[in-house]
C-alpha cells in the first residue's frame, strides 16, 4: 500500500477498500494513494540494566558473550543487541541420531557419519549419540553393539519405552558434550566435507542454526543421488504448516526439522525442544521461531550435502518407524504457534478449526481457567521472557520476501466475478486509448474511464453493453494445506461470506503487473498444469519462479497469464470465465464475451495485526536484515 494511504488510520483505510470495491479495477484506487513506503526509525538503543556481573571485552571493545561464566549477563541475552561479539572457536562436534526400530539403517547411518570425517580430522567428531527410542529388539544387542560403538566412536542412549522423535532428539541434545550439536535422522549419508560449514558458520555466531542441503539417498547402495534437487529452506503458513521454497540468500525462515546443527550453548539457552510435545511435528516451527525471535539465526549451508531417505509410496523399506500419538501433530503445531505468534494464532482456531474449534465450540477448559486443550505453554513463555524475544510481526517484516512480496500477509482479499457483454456496436479503433504514462498502471485519465473501456470494449474495438453476472470463482477444497498439493476452481453463485471465494495477489512478481493469485487461507495458486483443459491450482511458488502462476489483468478485463498486461493478441493465454479453461486472450474476450471483475475487497486479520504493530510498537522493527515493509511491494513493481 502506498505511503500516502499508510498515513491514514486503519479504519480509514478500510473505508478506502470499500470505496475501491465499487470500481472495476480497485487496485488502481489503492495504488493512486501513493508509491512505495518504507518506515525508518532512528531510535536510541536502550541502555543495559545495571548489573554487578563482570564484562569481558575483546581487543575490538566488543563484549565477549560466549564465555560460559557470562551467560546470565543481560547484554548477552538481549534479543535486540547487535554490537556484541557472538563468535567463538568450536573444536568438537556431537552428532545425535534418534532411532526407533531402524536396525540396519541405524548402523549404516553411524558408519556413514563416522567415515565422512577423514582420519586427519576425526578428532573433531567427539561422539555419535544414538538414541534408541524403545526399539525391539534393542539396537545395542546387534546393530549398534559394543564392537560397533568402539569402532565408530558411538554411545547409545536407551529409552525403554517410546518417547517419540522429539523426545529422542531432546535426550540426545541434552546428553551431547561437543561444542556443536548436530541432529540427523537415522537414515542419512553425509557427503564429503559436510561438517566444515557447520564449524565455520556456527563459529561466527553461536546463536546460529545451520541447515545442510538435503538430497536423495539410494537405500540400496547408501549413496547420494540427484544432488541438483537439494532443498534446505521452508516458510511458515498460518495453519502452522511449512512449505519448501528457494531464494537467493542463505536465510531459512523455518527449517524442515530433521537435519540441523547449532552450538551446544544456544541449545541450552533456548531450552532445546519443548518437553510437552509428543511424537513428531511442530518442533521445527518451535525451534526456528525460538531462534529468530530470540536474537538468533537459521542459515543454510549451500556447500554441505546430506543424502536423506525419503518416504516412497508402496516401498515398505521407507515406512516411518516412529509412532505418532493421535492428534499430536495438531497439538504440537498449535503450541508453537500460540507461544510464538500470539494473536496471529487465532487464525488457526477461527479459520483452520484447530482443536475443539473443529466442532464449532470454544475450549471449555480454557474458558474456565484450566489448562487448554493444547496444554500449558508456560515453559515456552518463560524462555520467551528470559531472552526478551521479539514479537511475531518482526518475523513477518524480516521475511518480507515471503510474507509481503510473496503474499502471505496480503493487503486485501477480493472476489473474482465473471461478467458478460451483449449488443455489438462498432467504435473507432483509438478513440478510447488516451494514454498518459504518468497516470498509473494503464495510463488512463481516470478510474471511471478505465472501467468503462473494460466493460464495453473488446479486442476488435466492438462496443458492448455490460450485463452483470452472479457467478464468482471458487476454490473447491477446504482451507489450509492441500493433501496432494493440487486443487481446482469452479464458478459458483457469488457469496461474500464464503471464504473459498476470496483470493489475493501472491508470489513475487516476475513481470511488471503480474503476480500469483492465491486462494486465501490455502497453499494454492491458479496454475496452468493441464487438467482436462481446465485451469487448476497448485502449491504457490512464493519466489515467483513458476511462470504458470504469473497472472494479471489486460486492458480488456482478461486474466492474462505470463505476459505483460499492457499487451494482447493471439499468442497470449487467458482464462475464459465461462469454461474455466485457457485459450487465446482474443478468444476469451470476443467469443466468451465476458470479462473478470475484482470486487468486495477486505483487509484480512493478519494484515490488520501486522499494520497495527507498526502503529503501536514501531520499536520492534529493529535488528536483523529487513526484507519487509508496510506494503506488499507490488506498488514499486508495476
Domains within the chain, CATH numbers bracketed: 93-228+250-324 (3.90.550.10), 413-602 (2.80.10.50)
Q: What is the pLDDT of residue 311?
A: 75
Q: What is the pLDDT of residue 61?
A: 44
Q: What is the pLDDT of residue 585?
A: 76
d(CA 83, CA 61) in angstroms, rounded, equals 10
Phi, psi dihedral angles at 597 (to 5 degrees): -130, 125
Low-confidence winner among 113-117, 151-155, 373-377, 512-516 (lowest mean pLDDT): 512-516
d(CA 505, CA 518) in angstroms, rounded, equals 6
Who's near 126: CB < 8 A, 6+ residues apart? 92, 93, 94, 153, 177, 178
pLDDT tens per residue, range 556-585 = 778 888 765 444 445 677 887 777 877 777
Strands (E), 18-159: 93-99, 125-133, 154-159
Q: What is the pLDDT of residue 361?
A: 56
Q: Which three cell numbers stand for residue 127?
A: 561422539
Residue 524: which of 229, 239, 230 has the closest Cα? Answer: 239
Q: What is the pLDDT of residue 497?
A: 94
Q: What is the pLDDT of residue 72?
A: 42
Burial of 87 (0-12, 13-18, 19+ CB in 10 A): middle
Look up residue 85 and give its DSSP letter. Answer: B
d(CA 143, CA 112) in angstroms, rounded, equals 14
484 — alpha (psi -120 to 50), left (phi > 0) or beta? alpha
Q: What is the pLDDT of residue 167?
A: 95
CB 380 within 8 A of CB 70: no
**Single pTM value for the model:** 0.78
Task: Quickly state the pLDDT bin for 390 (edges 50, 70, 90).
Answer: very high
Range of 198-212, 274-288, 403-417 with top mean pLDDT: 198-212
Give the residue, 243 or 357, on which the prediction is more confident. 243
Residue 527: which of 470, 453, 464, 475 has the closest Cα? Answer: 475
* Average pLDDT of the segment spanning 207-234: 87
CB 521 within 8 A of CB 605: no
* Residue 239: count of CB within 10 angstroms of its CB: 19
Q: At what angle do helices 328-341 and 378-386 cross, to 10 degrees?
A: 30
Give the residue, 360 or 238, on which the prediction is more confident. 238
Task: Quickly state the pLDDT bin for 552 (edges 50, 70, 90).
Answer: confident
Task: Quickly state the pLDDT bin for 441 (edges 50, 70, 90).
Answer: very low
Range of 64-68, 334-338, 528-532 with top mean pLDDT: 334-338
pLDDT tens per residue, range 154-198 = 999 999 999 999 999 999 999 999 999 999 999 999 999 999 999
- Of all residues in the chain, the percent with pLDDT exceeding 70 is 70
Give the residue, 468 or 167, on which the prediction is more confident. 167
- For the cut 70, the answer to whether the pLDDT of residue 12 exceeds it is no
pLDDT tens per residue, range 483-525 = 888 999 999 999 999 999 999 999 988 777 789 999 999 999 9
Low-confidence winner among 82-96, 371-385, 581-595 (lowest mean pLDDT): 581-595
Tell me which residue has cell 525442544: 273
Give the residue, 629 or 414, on which the prediction is more confident. 414
Tell me which residue has cell 521445527: 284
Q: What is the pLDDT of residue 468?
A: 60
Range of 4-13, 155-164, 458-467, 564-573 with top mean pLDDT: 155-164
Tell me which residue has cell 543481560: 74
d(CA 443, CA 445) in angstroms, rounded, equals 7
- For the cut 50, the answer to whether the pLDDT of residue 435 exceeds it is no
Task: Quickly state the pLDDT bin for 389 (edges 50, 70, 90).
Answer: very high
- For the cut 90, the answer to whether the pLDDT of residue 54 exceeds it is no
Residue 17: which of 440, 416, 599, 635 has the closest Cα? Answer: 599
Is the alpha carbon torsion for 210, 212, 213, 214 positive or negative?
A: negative
Residue 404: which of 414, 394, 415, 389 has the closest Cα? Answer: 394
CB 536 within 8 A of CB 475: no
Q: What is the pLDDT of residue 621?
A: 85
**Helices (H), strands (E): how many in the chain?**
19, 24
Task: Quickly state the pLDDT bin for 203 (edges 50, 70, 90).
Answer: very high
Average pLDDT of the chain, as a whole number: 78
Measured CA to CA in angstroms, residue 97 lies from 129, 190, 225, 257, 558 at distances of 6, 13, 22, 13, 54
* Average pLDDT of the segment spanning 44-72: 38
Strands 486-493, 536-539: pairing is: antiparallel
Q: What is the pLDDT of residue 444?
A: 40
- For the cut 60, the answer to whether the pLDDT of residue 467 exceeds it is no
pLDDT tens per residue, range 286-319 = 999 999 999 999 999 999 999 998 877 777 776 7
* Average pLDDT of the segment spanning 14-36: 38
pLDDT tens per residue, range 392-415 = 999 999 999 899 989 999 999 999
Q: What is the pLDDT of residue 637?
A: 34
Amino acid at each position: 500500500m502506498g505511503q500516502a494511504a499508510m498515513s491514514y488510520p486503519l479504519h480509514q483505510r478500510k473505508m478506502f477498500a470499500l470505496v475501491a470495491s465499487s470500481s472495476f479495477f480497485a487496485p488502481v484506487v489503492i495504488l493512486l494513494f501513493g508509491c512505495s513506503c518504507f518506515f525508518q526509525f532512528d531510535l536510541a538503543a536502550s541502555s543495559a540494566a545495571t548489573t554487578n556481573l563482570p564484562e569481558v571485552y575483546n581487543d575490538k571493545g566488543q563484549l565477549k558473550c560466549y564465555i560460559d561464566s557470562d551467560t546470565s549477563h543481560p547484554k548477552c541475552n538481549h534479543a535486540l543487541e547487535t554490537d556484541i561479539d557472538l563468535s567463538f572457536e568450536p573444536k568438537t562436534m556431537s552428532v545425535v541420531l534418534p532411532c526407533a526400530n531402524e536396525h540396519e539403517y541405524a548402523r549404516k547411518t553411524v558408519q556413514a557419519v563416522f567415515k565422512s570425517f577423514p582420519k586427519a580430522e576425526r578428532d573433531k567428531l567427539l561422539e555419535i549419540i544414538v538414541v534408541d527410542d524403545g526399539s525391539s529388539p534393542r539396537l545395542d544387542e546387534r546393530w549398534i553393539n559394543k564392537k560397533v560403538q568402539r569402532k565408530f566412536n558411538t554411545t547409545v542412549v536407551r529409552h525403554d519405552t517410546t518417547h517419540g522423535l522429539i523426545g529422542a532428539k531432546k535426550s540426545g541434545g541434552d546428553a551431547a558434550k561437543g561444542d556443536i550439536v548436530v541432529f540427523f535422522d537415522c537414515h542419512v549419508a553425509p557427503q564429503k566435507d559436510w561438517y566444515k560449514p557447520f564449524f565455520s558458520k556456527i563459529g561466527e555466531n553461536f546463536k546460529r542454526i545451520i541447515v545442510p542441503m538435503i538430497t536423495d539417498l539410494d537405500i540400496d547402495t547408501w549413496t547420494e543421488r540427484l544432488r541438483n534437487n537439494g532443498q534446505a529452506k521452508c516458510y511458515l503458513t498460518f495453519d502452522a504448516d511449512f512449505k519448501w521454497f528457494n531464494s537467493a540468500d542463505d536465510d531459512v525462515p523455518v527449517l524442515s526439522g530433521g537435519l540441523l546443527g547449532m552450538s551446544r550453548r544456544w541449545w541450552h539457552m533456548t531450552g532445546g525442544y519443548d518437553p510437552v510435545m509428543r511424537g513428531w511435528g511442530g518442533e521445527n516451527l518451535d525451534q526456528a521461531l525460538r531462534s529468530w525471535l530470540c536474537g538468533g539465526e537459521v542459515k543454510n549451508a549451500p556447500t554441505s550435502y546430506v543424502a536423506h531417505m525419503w518416504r516412497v509410496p508402496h516401498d515398505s523399506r521407507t515406512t516411518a518407524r516412529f509412532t505418532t500419538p493421535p492428534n499430536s501433530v495438531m497439538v504440537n503445531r498449535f503450541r508453537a504457534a500460540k507461544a510464538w505468534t500470539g494473536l496471529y494464532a487465532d487464525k488457526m482456531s477461527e479459520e483452520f478449526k484447530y482443536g475443539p474449534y473443529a466442532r464449532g465450540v470454544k475450549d471449555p477448559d480454557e474458558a474456565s481457567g484450566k489448562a487448554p486443550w493444547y496444554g500449558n505453554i508456560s515453559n515456552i513463555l518463560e524462555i520467551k521472557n528470559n531472552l526478551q524475544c521479539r514479537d511475531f510481526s518482526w518475523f513477518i517484516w524480516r521475511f518480507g520476501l515471503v510474507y509481503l512480496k510473496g503474499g502471505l500477509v496480503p493487503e486485501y482479499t477480493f472476489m473474482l466475478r465473471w461478467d458478460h457483454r451483449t449488443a455489438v456496436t462498432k467504435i473507432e479503433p483509438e478513440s478510447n486509448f488516451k494514454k498518459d504514462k504518468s497516470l498509473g498502471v494503464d495510463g488512463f485519465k481516470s478510474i471511471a474511464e478505465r472501467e468503462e473501456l473494460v466493460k464495453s470494449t473488446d479486442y476488435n474495438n466492438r462496443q458492448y453493453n455490460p450485463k452483470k453476472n452472479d457467478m464468482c470463482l471458487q476454490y473447491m477444497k477446504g482451507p489450509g494445506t492441500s493433501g496432494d498439493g493440487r486443487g481446482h476452481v469452479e464458478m459458483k453463485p457469488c457469496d461474500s461470506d464464503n471464504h473459498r471465494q476470496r483470493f489475493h495477489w501472491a508470489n513475487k512478481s516476475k513481470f511488471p503487473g503480474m503476480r500469483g493469485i492465491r486462494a486465501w487461507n490455502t497453499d494454492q495458486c491458479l496454475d496452468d498444469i493441464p487438467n482436462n483443459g481446465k485451469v487448476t491450482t497448485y502449491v504457490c511458488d512464493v519466489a515467483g519462479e513458476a511462470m504458470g502462476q504469473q497472472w494479471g489483468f489486460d486492458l480488456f478485463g482478461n486474466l492474462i497469464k505470463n505476459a505483460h498486461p499492457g499487451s494482447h493478441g493471439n499468442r497470449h493465454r487467458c482464462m475464459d470465465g465461462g469454461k474455466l479453461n485457457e485459450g487465446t486472450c482474443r478468444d476469451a474476450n470476443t467469443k466468451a464475451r465476458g470479462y473478470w471483475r475484482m470486487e468486495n475487497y477486505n483487509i484480512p486479520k493478519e494484515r490488520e495485526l501486522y499494520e497495527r504493530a507498526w502503529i503501536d510498537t514501531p520499536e520492534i522493527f529493529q535488528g536483523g536484515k529487513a526484507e519487509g515493509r508496510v506494503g506488499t511491494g507490488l506498488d514499486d513493481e508495476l
